[in-house]
Amino acid sequence: MQQRFMSGLIGLACAAVTVQAGWEYTAVTKAEGGKHADMQDMKIHAQVDGTKARIEFTESKNPLMGAGSYLLTTDAGKTARLVNPSEKCYSEWDMKKMMGMAGGIMGMMNMKVKDQKVEKLLEEKGPSILGMSTTHYKFRTSYTMEVSFMGMTQASATVNEQELWTTTALKDAAFTFAALQRDMKTGNDELDKLIATQMNKAQGFPLKSVVKNSAKDARGQEQDTTVTTEVVAVKQTSIAASQFALPSGYEERELSPMNALMGGGATSKKDGSGKQGGDANAFLKMLQDQMKKQQ
């Protein structure tokens, strides 16, 4: 269960364009193995200045963060908006609420995380990446996920091995993204404990990350995925303040991760309308009802 999350809100302020010094970078994520692994494939172009950030998904197969959409924050991720230019709308990007929905679903399906273990395997001086010194980390996280639903109980064992190459040279970016990981509570004690342990594993901003995930079910069937994220370009530059401003005239909509999974989109706050796949299966509808209860 991975999740990545970065976001933003924007205030309409100065009419005049002010120019500030900040950072601009491009990062590429590629996933291999596992069903629907390519939904994690994306390319982002980010602009960061202190507590302000704009992260545009220039290429994406993710139904929530489509190509051309972008995240905005002016307070280091404490508040955030996902902006969709093609539909001229924006939605609140609330990780705490989304994680709470995940906890609600886990409760409904009687999911339990057992035997959690997080090991730090390595911390050493890493190679220079894009002209910046790095620290190289290796971690291994393992746990058993038990699911009881409709009278059936299934268990799967997961091993997650992660390599990180981080730098402390990008202090603005490190501050912005570290803030987005705070207070992510699902309401499931076992999972929250695991997430909290994972969140504090390394210092600095990741210039490269390789995550290998292996899950084995009770029948011994394995599913392996590898997700690689790498910053491929970075530079210090002047950024116009308007880049961090929410476009005027855009409609605010409720963002529903389950709607996106079911083929729909965000729901209008004015009339409650929203795209919804008529043939969506009953199980996903039941999960969506549970998520609405958590909102």
* Percentage of the chain modeled with pLDDT above 70: 64
Is 13 among the domain residues? no
Domain limits for position 274: 19-294
200 domain-assigned: yes
Q: Is the pLDDT of residue 213 over 60?
A: yes
Confidence of residue 186 (pLDDT cuts 50, 70, 90): low
pLDDT reported for residue 10? 27
Q: Please check whether residue 25 lies inside any domain of the structure.
A: yes
* Average pLDDT value for residue range 172-184: 59
- Rounded to whole angstroms, how far apart are CA atoms 107 and 129? 43
Beta strands in 168-265 (DSSP E): 205-217, 222-240, 251-254
Q: How many domains does the chain contain in total? A: 1
| Residue 3, domain member (yes or no) | no
Q: For 228-281, write each residue's pLDDT tens digit.
A: 999 999 999 999 999 999 999 999 998 765 554 444 455 555 555 444 433 334
- Cβ-based neighbour number of residue 34 at 10 Å: 17
- What's the confidence (pLDDT) of residue 98? 64
Please check whether residue 199 is in contact with residue 184, taking contact to mean a CB–CB distance below 8 angstroms: yes
* In the chain, alpha helices (H): 95-108, 171-179, 189-199, 257-261, 282-294
Of all residues in the chain, the percent with pLDDT exceeding 90 is 38
Q: Would 112 be classed as within a structural domain?
A: yes
CA distance 208 to 165: 5
- 9 assigned to some structural domain: no
5 is a domain residue:
no
What pLDDT is stored for residue 124 in this prediction?
Answer: 97
Q: Tell which wins on pLDDT, 218 or 181.
A: 218
